Amino acid sequence: MPDSTILHPTSQSFDAEVLGSDLPVLVDFWAPWCPPCQMLKPIVASLAPEYAGRARIAMVNVDDQPELAERFGVQSIPALMIVKGGEVVDAFVGAMPKPALTAKLDAALR
């Protein structure tokens, strides 16, 4: 069953939901007070149905989950990473247009 829902992992569920995922996961570290994060949020959210069954999308609010931000060395937001097979295979900082984001996700699917 394709899953087009967006994950909202916590420090307790991150390992199971993201690192343990059988599909690659795009993780967006964001905060409500961050204007570039707010610009990127609808773009990231739109990827969930487009990549259903091929990849999963996770959003981590760094204010709510500071342990996760610290664990992954997030110093600037928005910070995004792609996790595949329990490993971070790509990481990037800053808002980007949807074509650039899909290109990075597509590369991780190969």
Contact 58, 17 (CB under 8 A): yes
CA diameter of the chain? 36
Which amino acid is it at 8?
Answer: H
Query: Residues with catalytic annotation?
Result: 34, 37
Could you tell me which of 70, 57, 55 has the C-alpha nearest to residue 11? Answer: 70
